[in-house]
Structure formats: C-alpha cells, structure tokens
Amino acid sequence: MWQSEVRVDLDAIRENVARLKSGTSAELMAVVKGDGYGHGMVPAARAALDAGADWLGVCTLDEALALRQQGVSAPVLAWLLDPGLPLHDGVAVGVDLGCASLTQLDEMIEAGRRADRPARIHLKIDTGLARGGATVADWPALLEAAAKAQADGLVEVVGVWSHFVYADSPGHPTTDRQLAVFHEGLEMVERAGLRPRYRHLANSAATLTRPDTHFDLVRPGLAVYGLSPIAGEQFGLRPAMTARARVMLTKRVPPGTGVSYGHTYLTEAESNLAVVPLGYADGVPRHASNTGPVQLAGKRRTISGRVCMDQFVIDCGDDEVAAGDVATLFGSGADGEPTADDWAEAVGTINYEIVTRFGGVRVPRVYDGERPRAQVAP
C-alpha cells in the first residue's frame, strides 16, 4: 500500500516529443535538466529518445555524466559549468560543452588534452538575456580564439547558440531583436572561418510558435513533459505527471475549529477534516496554504490552513471521506483533477516550478509505460 506518489506517464512524454518533432524540420534536443523537470532524468531521457529526440540537454556536468553512466549514448550538451570542474571526464565520454568565455575555452582546451580528444563545444552568444553567453562586445575575441583552437586540433566547434527572454510571448518585440542579434552573431561566426553544424535558439515556446527560430536544432524542455509555456494554449500536449497521496486521518470537528498552524483557517460549520501526508518537504508549496486545489472524494477542494512540512488538511464539509481515500493534487486534468497550471495560478508561480518540486526523497516516482531495455554485457 502506497502513502504518496508521483506517477509519470512515459507514453505522454513520447507523444509530446513526437508532436514536437512533427512541427519542425530541425533536430530536437529534449532538455532533461533538473532531474527531468522533476519527472526523473533518465526515464524521461529514454522516453524522449524512444520518440525520436536526437539530443539531450542538461545544465550540469554531473547530469551529463549520470546519463552516460546509465548507458545513454545519445548526444548530450551540458552548459552550466563552473571553473575547475573535471571537464575532461565529460569530454572523454563524448559530452558536448557550452562555452561562453575565453576562460571557459581555455578550460575546455585543457580538458581535451587530458582526455586525449578535442572537446566538442557550443559557443554561446548573449543576445539579450544578460545571463549566460558572451556579450556582443566579447563575441569576436571568443570566435577568433575558438577558430584558432579548432585549427590546432584542440577543440571542435559543433554549435552556436543563445537563449530567449520572452519566447513565452511570441509577439514580444524582444524576440525579434534577439533573433536579429543572433543572425549578426552568425555572420561573425562565418567571417571567423567557423562552420558549426548546429545553430540553436528555440526553446519550448519558440519550437511551438516561431518556426523562423528553429535553425538546425530546437531545445524544448517544458513541452516535453506536456506542459505549455504559453498560458491558455495547450498545443495538444499531454501532461505526464500526477501527484497524489492517501488520506491519513479523518475527523469530525465543530464550527469555529482552527485548522493547522496559526489557525489561519476556521471551520464555518461542523465539518469532516481530512489529513493528507504531504507537505513542503515533499514539494507542496507553503504558499498553497488556503489556496492549493486538491481533488478528493469526487470534488475539487482547497487546502484548509497552512501547509506544514509533512502534511496539510482539507475541510470536506459534510462530504464523507475516509482514511485511505486518494487526494490528487494535480495531474493531466482528464478526470477533472487540478493541473500543474491550476497550482501555478493558485500560488502565484509557473508550472515549471510546480513539477520540479515533486518526486523527492520521501515521495517515490512510479512510472507507467516503461519499456524493457536491452541488457549490456559488463
């Protein structure tokens, strides 16, 4: 008997990737950073590859190495790389590296020497996000150094890339300005004598709405998991995650009963309370206090009082509830349950944050749609 669980529908991930692939002529990188947006990095990666993803994208070197250690051999790009990391470990197993500065380039050259093979790098230009990437002013120097390193056989410049600011608002003028800067950056790449195979810019929103940004490779993340980056539009995607728990305890209480810490909720009448063993240590935002939607006993209800570290309470009024009944926080919405979008709206955040919170140490992930894998001889 399970107490709480996150169910992940791998077939939904496959369907979403297939849908995204059908809308572009570019290759597709499924972004599986952040433990697959909370869905489990390795199972999500394998499902995406099953459906035709060509690449996988992660932030950290550790994420990339974990994929390799689990036998995932597809092309992988890692791009959030602090100074001093053992980049040679990634180079040795064919992990591509995002490069945004002369200092990073020097580290990647050294990593290639240690691994006895050129580092495969993707040069990143900052087109307006002011986060990762070389500034437009620093771009020519980075290109010159990378071209020389490639000519010397020290690196292989595989890609050039950037990242959008407002792609979730397809008509925002910043998107067009960034695209123009990216084109100018590509012209400089050509003048530097570099001919990278991949130019990539499009995230989920741009993959779905801006085909003029697809170039050679698109990088959807959120959409892989069936969540839309654009409010009010679903694009035929199917959410893959369901979070739920069994009611631990029920009790009948009189009117005016204060519920949970601080008594921020008082019962208006004699009521049945249901205690659900999930809290902020499991991924439930504390901001969901008195606002978080939950489906229980055939109805949508709202968390009553403060979310605690390990539990929350629902006032069910006169409705019959019993220990062991299933409380669904969010899912695909197909059975009327709340969705991650509903939760995001309720707590004032984005659907990305909701799903990445769940599936921690105490809440096991259960996978539907798993496929047998060929055994690899030791």
Q: Check residue 247 and give its pLDDT.
A: 98
Q: What is the mean pLDDT of residues 12-22?
A: 98
State the DSSP string of 59-97. Answer: SSHHHHHHHHHTT--S-EEE----TT--HHHHHHTTEEE
pLDDT bracket for residue 361 (50, 70, 90): confident
Q: What is the mean pLDDT of residues 237-264?
A: 98
Long-range CB pairs of 372-376 (<8 Å, 24+ gap) are 373/46, 373/71, 376/71
pLDDT bracket for residue 129 (50, 70, 90): very high
Q: What is the length of the chain?
A: 378
Distance of alpha carbon 158 from alpha carbon 122, whole angstroms: 6
Q: Check residue 232 and give its pLDDT.
A: 87
pLDDT tens per residue across span 291-345: 999 999 999 999 999 999 999 999 999 999 999 999 999 999 999 999 999 999 9
37, 225, 261, 280: the active-site residue: 261
Distance of alpha carbon 223 from alpha carbon 205, whole angstroms: 8
Share of the chain above pLDDT 90, in %: 94
The pTM of the full predicted model, rounded to 2 decimals, is 0.96
pLDDT for residue 284 is more than 90: yes
333: left (phi over 0), alpha (psi -120 to 50) or beta: left
Residue 74 CA neighbour count, 13 Å, CB half: 25
Is 261 an annotated catalytic residue? yes
Share of the chain above pLDDT 70, in %: 98
Q: Check residue 376 and give its pLDDT.
A: 44
Q: Check residue 374 and give its pLDDT.
A: 60
Mean pLDDT (the chain) is 96
pLDDT for residue 167 is more than 90: no
Q: What is the mean pLDDT of residues 174-181?
A: 96
Amino acid at 243: A
Q: Check residue 2 and give its pLDDT.
A: 87
Distance of alpha carbon 12 from alpha carbon 197, whole angstroms: 31
Is 33 an annotated catalytic residue? yes
Q: Check residue 169 and give its pLDDT.
A: 82
Q: Check residue 342 and give its pLDDT.
A: 97
Q: Check residue 34 and give its pLDDT.
A: 96
| Residue in the structure block whose two tokens are 């040795």 | 92
21, 33, 225, 280: the active-site residue: 33
